[in-house]
Amino acid sequence: MNSKDSSARGRLNVAIVGAGFMGRAHSNAWRQAPKFFDLPLDVSMAVLCRADSARAQEAAELLGWESSESDWRNLLTRDDVDLIDICVPGALHADIAVAALNAGKHVLCEKPLANTVEQAEAMAEAAQRAAARGVQSMVGFSYRRAPAIALARRMVVEGKIGRIQQIRAGYRQDFIVDPNEPLSWRLEKDKAGSGALGDIGAHLIDLCQYLADDTITEVSGTLETFVKRRPLAAPGSGLGGRQAAEGYGDVTVDDAAWFLGRMSQGTVASFEATRFATGRKNELTIEVSGSAGALRWNLEDYNVLEYYDGSEPAVESGFRRILATEPDTPYYHAWWPTGHVIGWEHGFTHQVVDLVNAIASGESPRPTFAEGLSVQRVLAAVERSAASRASWTDV
């Protein structure tokens, strides 16, 4: 717990842009991090920015920010803003992030880094330039910070599973299985960039590269849209609103994506990202198979890491179910006694903790924008491969 003399410490003034689902999750993380972890800087939740000023003020009060803004450009020149946390849709990431970094603000940017490789490249370049001036950046692949995943990574690094030969990853949801589910922005390419591939497949790619400590160099991919036309949502109805307006519109993104990736060390990874796995709500699973053991995680079973120790005699071996809630489990010392489980949102809190620590120590936080760009390039290569009959395609 926080026991240092705060008067002697530096301060980190944070601004957030966006107040949707991710804005809520990030705000929670900024509120919670200093309550549970001993941070090296005093974090101040200075300002929330949202396009409409009345709604910005309302959101700031609700989510715990001291003030509000309606134009993110104003944040760039404010001396009382040290870090900008970007929680708006992907199409806006590049403009804000590049401007912020150029203005000397640290940046935390939600995943995926951008909607296009070009944008992501510009961001990674800006990040590299900024880093030279001590300005840090991080992309928000928060699943890296689930304690079970952080433990898995530690075990991989320690050699517990040997050389990684294959990885099997899936992110399976079912929220649009019903063909009467109306068209929404998430199903239109010009707004969402891509469908299951970019939305949830991006998480798989990052986890795969993180756990294997390696990069995907070529891919073979296929995209599928099972329901090609959907009823238009009635004006004013939100996502999931069932009062369809007259008429139907085209679904222009993928409902599901399957792809293989080869990594530079020879690992083959298989991926499925789908919104059509009936009965699966948010099932992200990843199994990493090495020459000396294996590890498996399921997001829905957040606190559990499965581990197969290949050095045990076969007659007594099997996957063990580790409840990743021990004092020695990464991040867990700050929470509750053993066995008192935590949830999805805590990964965002850990992300803030690691980011603040990196800023205080002057080290580059991970995942870097370069890592975010790497994910983006894999996504783009999958799309190119899909457009050429699944042919293996360089990243």
Give the separation between CA 290 and CA 308, rounded to whole angstroms.
Answer: 10
Inter-residue contact 268 to 190 (CB < 8 Å): no
Q: Which of residues 175-194 bind a second copy (CB under 8 A)?
A: 175, 177-179
Give the separation between CA 338 and CA 126, rounded to whole angstroms.
Answer: 42
Taking the mean position of all CA atoms in its chain, how far away is CA 74? Answer: 27
Give the separation between CA 383 and CA 59, rounded to whole angstroms.
Answer: 37
Q: Could you tell me the smallest distance in angstroms from the CB atom of residue 344 to a second copy?
A: 4
Which residue in the set 229, 242, 320, 333 belongs to the binding site for a second copy (CB under 8 A)?
Answer: 320
Closest CA to 46 of 34, 33, 64: 64
Task: Enter the tokens of residue 164.
Answer: 């990684």
Residue 258, strand partner residues: 222, 272
Which residue in the set 120, 256, 286, 370 belongs to the binding site for a second copy (CB under 8 A)?
Answer: 256
Taking the mean position of all CA atoms in its chain, how far away is CA 335? Answer: 22
Q: Could you tell me the smallest distance in angstroms from the CB atom of residue 6 to a second copy?
A: 8
Stretch that binds a second copy, among 45-53, 77-85, 111-119, 284-292 (CB under 8 A): 284-292
Which 3 state secondary structure label does DSSP give 38?
Answer: coil
Which residue in the set 92, 131, 232, 341 belongs to the binding site for a second copy (CB under 8 A)?
Answer: 341
Stretch that binds a second copy, among 71-79, 272-280, 354-362, 368-376 (CB under 8 A): 272-280
Q: Which of residues 139-158 bind a second copy (CB under 8 A)?
A: 151, 155
Interior/surface letters 254-286, b for 16+ CB within 10 angstroms, e for the rest = bbbbbbbbbbeeebebbbbbbbbbeebeebbbb
Give the separation between CA 351 and CA 139, rounded to whole angstroms.
Answer: 10
Stretch that binds a second copy, among 116-124, 208-216, 320-328, 356-364 (CB under 8 A): 320-328
# residues contacting a second copy (CB under 8 A):
95
Nearer to a second copy, 310 or 364 (CB): 310
Nearer to a second copy, 72 or 332 (CB): 332
Task: Enter the tokens of residue 393.
Answer: 């395609």
Nearer to a second copy, 59 or 83 (CB): 59
Nearer to a second copy, 134 or 327 (CB): 327
337, amino acid identity: P
Stretch that binds a second copy, among 102-110, 183-191, 292-300, 352-360 (CB under 8 A): 292-300
Asked if 214 is part of the footprint of a second copy (rule: CB under 8 A), the reply reads no
Which residue in the set 54, 62, 234, 387 belongs to the binding site for a second copy (CB under 8 A)?
Answer: 62
Asked if 54 is part of the footprint of a second copy (rule: CB under 8 A), the reply reads no
